[in-house]
Amino acid sequence: MVTASKKPKAKPEKAAAKPKAPAKKATAPKPKAKPKTTVVKAKTVKKTSAPARAVAAQKVGEMVYNDELFESLSEAILLGEAATAALLPDIKKKLFDYDIYMVSFLSDEDIRDIANEVSKADAAAIVPQLEAIRDNARVFVDIASGYNSVRAYIDRALKSDGREKLKLSFVEGEYCLKGAGPETCESFLMLF
Protein backbone atom coordinates (compact mmCIF):
# COMPACT_ATOMS: atom_id res chain seq x y z
CA MET A 1 0.00 0.00 0.00
CA VAL A 2 1.43 3.37 -1.05
CA THR A 3 0.64 6.20 1.31
CA ALA A 4 2.88 9.07 0.24
CA SER A 5 5.59 10.00 -2.20
CA LYS A 6 9.18 9.68 -1.03
CA LYS A 7 10.22 12.59 -3.25
CA PRO A 8 11.64 15.45 -1.11
CA LYS A 9 9.53 18.58 -1.04
CA ALA A 10 10.86 21.90 -2.27
CA LYS A 11 11.93 24.38 0.39
CA PRO A 12 9.75 27.47 0.68
CA GLU A 13 11.27 30.73 -0.55
CA LYS A 14 12.40 33.23 2.05
CA ALA A 15 10.38 36.42 2.19
CA ALA A 16 13.17 38.78 3.22
CA ALA A 17 16.22 39.15 1.02
CA LYS A 18 19.69 39.52 2.47
CA PRO A 19 21.17 43.04 2.30
CA LYS A 20 23.73 43.54 -0.46
CA ALA A 21 27.39 44.06 0.38
CA PRO A 22 28.73 47.57 -0.29
CA ALA A 23 30.40 48.02 -3.67
CA LYS A 24 34.19 47.95 -3.77
CA LYS A 25 36.17 50.97 -4.89
CA ALA A 26 37.23 50.86 -8.50
CA THR A 27 40.96 51.02 -9.09
CA ALA A 28 42.65 52.16 -12.23
CA PRO A 29 43.68 49.20 -14.40
CA LYS A 30 47.35 48.58 -14.99
CA PRO A 31 48.51 49.14 -18.57
CA LYS A 32 48.82 45.89 -20.46
CA ALA A 33 51.55 44.94 -22.87
CA LYS A 34 50.63 44.93 -26.55
CA PRO A 35 49.65 41.47 -27.73
CA LYS A 36 51.88 39.93 -30.37
CA THR A 37 50.27 39.67 -33.78
CA THR A 38 51.16 37.69 -36.83
CA VAL A 39 50.37 38.59 -40.37
CA VAL A 40 48.83 35.83 -42.45
CA LYS A 41 48.58 36.11 -46.19
CA ALA A 42 45.24 35.07 -47.67
CA LYS A 43 45.22 32.26 -50.18
CA THR A 44 43.84 32.88 -53.62
CA VAL A 45 40.67 30.87 -54.04
CA LYS A 46 39.42 29.66 -57.39
CA LYS A 47 35.91 31.00 -57.99
CA THR A 48 33.34 28.26 -58.50
CA SER A 49 29.62 28.16 -59.07
CA ALA A 50 29.10 27.15 -55.44
CA PRO A 51 26.85 29.24 -53.22
CA ALA A 52 28.43 32.17 -51.43
CA ARG A 53 27.74 30.63 -48.04
CA ALA A 54 28.61 26.98 -47.50
CA VAL A 55 26.31 25.15 -45.14
CA ALA A 56 27.14 21.90 -43.42
CA ALA A 57 25.12 18.94 -44.62
CA GLN A 58 22.88 17.35 -42.03
CA LYS A 59 22.32 13.66 -41.52
CA VAL A 60 18.94 12.46 -42.76
CA GLY A 61 17.83 9.06 -41.52
CA GLU A 62 20.47 6.33 -41.60
CA MET A 63 22.00 7.75 -44.80
CA VAL A 64 21.70 4.36 -46.50
CA TYR A 65 19.12 5.08 -49.17
CA ASN A 66 19.71 7.22 -52.24
CA ASP A 67 16.84 9.57 -51.34
CA GLU A 68 18.26 10.25 -47.86
CA LEU A 69 21.67 11.06 -49.30
CA PHE A 70 20.08 13.25 -51.94
CA GLU A 71 17.94 15.08 -49.37
CA SER A 72 20.97 15.85 -47.21
CA LEU A 73 22.93 17.24 -50.14
CA SER A 74 19.94 19.18 -51.53
CA GLU A 75 19.19 20.85 -48.21
CA ALA A 76 22.83 21.92 -47.89
CA ILE A 77 22.56 23.54 -51.33
CA LEU A 78 19.21 25.18 -50.53
CA LEU A 79 20.39 26.51 -47.17
CA GLY A 80 23.17 28.39 -48.94
CA GLU A 81 20.57 31.12 -49.47
CA ALA A 82 18.81 32.57 -46.44
CA ALA A 83 15.54 33.02 -48.35
CA THR A 84 15.05 29.29 -48.85
CA ALA A 85 15.41 28.12 -45.24
CA ALA A 86 11.71 28.66 -44.45
CA LEU A 87 10.68 27.07 -47.75
CA LEU A 88 12.35 23.68 -47.18
CA PRO A 89 9.17 21.75 -46.24
CA ASP A 90 7.30 23.04 -49.32
CA ILE A 91 10.25 22.35 -51.59
CA LYS A 92 10.53 18.81 -50.22
CA LYS A 93 6.87 18.15 -51.04
CA LYS A 94 7.18 19.61 -54.54
CA LEU A 95 10.33 17.55 -55.20
CA PHE A 96 8.55 14.27 -54.39
CA ASP A 97 10.28 13.95 -50.98
CA TYR A 98 13.62 14.03 -52.83
CA ASP A 99 12.97 10.88 -54.85
CA ILE A 100 16.00 10.90 -57.17
CA TYR A 101 14.19 9.28 -60.08
CA MET A 102 11.17 11.59 -60.00
CA VAL A 103 13.31 14.73 -59.58
CA SER A 104 15.61 13.67 -62.43
CA PHE A 105 12.64 13.73 -64.85
CA LEU A 106 11.73 17.37 -64.12
CA SER A 107 12.02 19.77 -67.05
CA ASP A 108 13.11 23.41 -66.90
CA GLU A 109 9.45 24.44 -67.13
CA ASP A 110 8.59 22.15 -64.21
CA ILE A 111 11.38 23.74 -62.16
CA ARG A 112 10.06 27.26 -62.87
CA ASP A 113 6.53 26.17 -61.93
CA ILE A 114 7.75 24.68 -58.65
CA ALA A 115 9.69 27.86 -57.83
CA ASN A 116 6.58 29.98 -58.47
CA GLU A 117 4.37 27.68 -56.40
CA VAL A 118 6.79 27.70 -53.47
CA SER A 119 7.49 31.44 -53.45
CA LYS A 120 6.53 33.93 -56.13
CA ALA A 121 8.66 36.62 -54.48
CA ASP A 122 11.85 34.52 -54.44
CA ALA A 123 11.18 32.40 -57.54
CA ALA A 124 14.04 33.92 -59.54
CA ALA A 125 16.52 33.12 -56.76
CA ILE A 126 15.21 29.59 -56.23
CA VAL A 127 15.22 28.46 -59.89
CA PRO A 128 19.04 28.03 -60.18
CA GLN A 129 19.12 26.04 -56.94
CA LEU A 130 16.27 23.80 -58.06
CA GLU A 131 17.97 23.26 -61.43
CA ALA A 132 21.18 22.28 -59.62
CA ILE A 133 19.21 19.85 -57.45
CA ARG A 134 17.54 18.33 -60.53
CA ASP A 135 20.93 17.94 -62.24
CA ASN A 136 22.35 16.36 -59.07
CA ALA A 137 19.43 13.91 -59.05
CA ARG A 138 20.49 12.90 -62.55
CA VAL A 139 24.04 12.35 -61.29
CA PHE A 140 22.70 10.23 -58.41
CA VAL A 141 20.65 8.14 -60.88
CA ASP A 142 23.78 7.65 -62.99
CA ILE A 143 25.79 6.55 -59.94
CA ALA A 144 22.99 4.24 -58.75
CA SER A 145 22.71 2.58 -62.15
CA GLY A 146 26.44 1.80 -62.17
CA TYR A 147 26.96 0.85 -58.53
CA ASN A 148 23.46 -0.25 -57.34
CA SER A 149 23.31 2.70 -54.94
CA VAL A 150 25.04 5.98 -54.20
CA ARG A 151 26.00 4.72 -50.74
CA ALA A 152 27.71 1.66 -52.29
CA TYR A 153 29.70 3.96 -54.60
CA ILE A 154 30.73 6.25 -51.73
CA ASP A 155 31.74 3.34 -49.49
CA ARG A 156 33.75 1.70 -52.29
CA ALA A 157 35.44 4.98 -53.27
CA LEU A 158 36.29 5.85 -49.65
CA LYS A 159 37.84 2.42 -49.15
CA SER A 160 39.87 2.35 -52.37
CA ASP A 161 40.66 5.99 -53.22
CA GLY A 162 40.15 7.98 -50.01
CA ARG A 163 38.09 10.99 -49.08
CA GLU A 164 40.04 13.61 -51.07
CA LYS A 165 39.77 11.78 -54.39
CA LEU A 166 36.06 11.14 -53.81
CA LYS A 167 35.49 14.81 -52.98
CA LEU A 168 37.37 15.77 -56.15
CA SER A 169 35.13 13.50 -58.24
CA PHE A 170 32.05 15.26 -56.77
CA VAL A 171 33.48 18.77 -57.20
CA GLU A 172 34.99 18.59 -60.67
CA GLY A 173 35.31 14.98 -61.74
CA GLU A 174 33.20 12.26 -63.25
CA TYR A 175 30.21 12.81 -60.94
CA CYS A 176 30.38 16.60 -60.63
CA LEU A 177 27.60 17.97 -58.43
CA LYS A 178 26.18 21.40 -59.24
CA GLY A 179 25.80 24.03 -56.54
CA ALA A 180 27.98 22.03 -54.15
CA GLY A 181 31.42 23.49 -53.67
CA PRO A 182 34.34 21.80 -51.91
CA GLU A 183 33.10 22.86 -48.46
CA THR A 184 29.61 21.46 -49.03
CA CYS A 185 31.01 18.19 -50.41
CA GLU A 186 33.41 17.93 -47.46
CA SER A 187 30.59 18.38 -44.94
CA PHE A 188 28.48 15.85 -46.88
CA LEU A 189 31.29 13.27 -46.84
CA MET A 190 31.93 13.85 -43.13
CA LEU A 191 28.56 12.17 -42.48
CA PHE A 192 30.07 8.80 -43.51
Burial of 9-28, coded b for 16+ CB within 10 Å and e otherwise, reads eeeeeeeeeeeeeeeeeeee
Residue 7 maps to a domain? no
Residue 11 maps to a domain? no
Residue 77 maps to a domain? yes
- Report how many domains make up the chain: 1
Residue 122 maps to a domain? yes
Residue 31 maps to a domain? no
Residue 21 maps to a domain? no
* Domain membership of residue 70 as a residue range: 66-189
The model scores a pTM over 0.75: no
Written as tens digits, the pLDDT of the chain (192 aa) is: 555 444 445 455 455 555 555 555 555 555 555 445 444 444 333 334 444 445 666 667 666 789 999 999 999 888 877 778 889 999 999 999 999 999 999 999 999 999 999 999 889 989 999 999 999 999 999 999 999 999 999 999 999 999 999 999 999 988 999 988 888 888 888 888
Residue 120 maps to a domain? yes
Q: How many residues does the chain have?
A: 192
Number of neighbours of residue 64 by Cβ within 10 angstroms? 12
